[in-house]
A = this chain, B = another copy of it.
Amino acid sequence: MTRWTPPPSDLPTSWYNVLPRLQSPLEPPLHPATRQPVGPDDLAPLFPMGLIAQEVSSEPWIDIPGEVLDILRLWRPTPLVRAIRLEQALGTPARIYFKDESVSPAGSHKPNTAVPQVFYNRVEGTTRLATETGAGQWGTALSFACAQFDLECMVYMVRSSYEAKAYRKTMMEVWGGRVVPSPVAEPEHPGSLGTAITDAVRDAATRPDTHYSLGSVLNHVLLHQTVIGLEARDQLSAAGERLPDVVIAPCGGGSNLAGIALPFYEDAAVRIMAVEPSSCPTLTEGRFDYDFGDTGGLTPLLPMYTLGHEFVPPRIHAGGLRYHGDAPIISNLVRDGRVEAVAYPQGKVFDAAIQFARTEGKIPAPETAHGIRAAIDEALAAKETGEERVILFNFSGHGHLDLAAYDEYLRGDLPDY
């Protein structure tokens, strides 16, 4: 068999919390002005207490509320697929599996956290959420989730993307989201994730009906994504595998990698690999330090690998990987040697994307293709040594709204940094 899709009754009912299991405890975020640890009261204007509690929880497992499960069941459990045609094309003895998160309504893994975030906000009476989006994946996911719980969704979209990626904006509007270009106050400014965070935080801080929502980096976001890896464990077992030798995912803010890999954290023999762009090499070339989560210096200081909050990566197509920092949890695991990191230039990444599309059919998002590149290289290494390696990677999203990038690649116009 090549595909394992358990019935919706097999959905995990708890999230896996890595916090109490970490070898080195996580350093706390610091207040940007006082440099003192940030407490729940500092976060209350922006987040509901349900999420603030998860941010620091020491419970090893956290129950997923039934109303959240009711929405996740629209597309979960997602399929685990053995990429047998890709294996054959590579001539590798490795067995390559991918977890297909592209089947969600928004087309990526992002709704796994958007749904519970909206739920906890609604429980505490919030009727409106504000967020930022760069390429549009996160804004799409949050708009979808808000539609399910009847909350208003206000998305500040980086102006250059707002103008170049009109279809992403339409997708958000189909689900009822409101989308405006950022920075709102400077109509000539192309915007950046930094300006959009500033707009969204200001909106949430100044309206009592509104909270703020973030799509990666924070502990509670990574927690919600662990449904991916929990399902994958059971599906690999149904496929007759004991454990993977290596778990691979692209890494921008870190939620994608955390989702598939953290449930394998305690299996010491399982290698965990973060894949990032050479042009934004946070884990491979950054330093571990306290730094701001945004470019404007508004957020708490987070303990993480960073290229400096003023670092501006070039305009690669994998917009979701253009982030100067990384999740504190992932940074902690890299520092402790539990997670390895590799970086690729985007030309090699698109080579892998095309090879995957022509063998397995599915067209990956540029972010996702980073993981595919590393999986192919692992499979080729196994071919060299003749090893029966088991490789698991996260197919985090489809590329249906990224075809302009493929066009550039096929025409030979893709800058290869």
Contact = CB atoms under 8 A, between A and B. Distances in A.
Interface of A: 1-5, 7-9, 73-75, 79, 81, 85, 103-107, 144, 147-148, 166-167, 170-171, 173-176, 354, 357-358, 360-363, 398, 400-401, 403-404, 406-407, 410
Given A4-B7, A363-B105, A400-B107, A406 B74 contact: no
A171 B7 contact: no
* 6 residue pairs, one from A and one from B, having the closest CB atoms: A105-B361, A400-B400, A167-B403, A5-B5, A170-B403, A170-B407
28 contacts: A1-B7, A1-B8, A1-B9, A2-B8, A2-B73, A3-B7, A3-B73, A5-B7, A74-B85, A74-B360, A74-B361, A105-B363, A144-B361, A147-B357, A147-B358, A166-B403, A166-B407, A167-B404, A170-B403, A170-B404, A171-B403, A173-B406, A174-B358, A174-B403, A174-B406, A174-B410, A176-B358, A400-B400
Nearest to A176: B358
Contact of A357 (B7, B167, B174, B398): B174
Given A2-B73, A166-B407, A363 B171 contact: yes
Contacts of A357: 105, 147, 174-175
A89 to B, nearest CB: 11
Given A167-B403, A361-B74, A361-B75, A173 B3 contact: no
Contacts of A171: 363, 403, 406
Contacts of A85: 74, 148
A129 to B, nearest CB: 16
A316 to B, nearest CB: 18
A170 B354 CA distance: 12
Contacts of A170: 403-404, 406-407, 410
Contacts of A103: 103
A1 to B, nearest CB: 6
Contacts of A74: 2, 81, 85, 360-361
Contacts of A106: 361
A403 B406 CA distance: 19
A23 to B, nearest CB: 38
Nearest to A147: B358
A146 to B, nearest CB: 10
Contacts of A398: 400
A401 B400 contact: yes
Contacts of A363: 105, 171, 174
A93 to B, nearest CB: 20
Contacts of A144: 361
A403 to B, nearest CB: 4
A405 to B, nearest CB: 9
A105 B362 contact: yes
Nearest to A102: B103
Contacts of A406: 170-171, 173-174
Contacts of A147: 357-358
A174 to B, nearest CB: 5
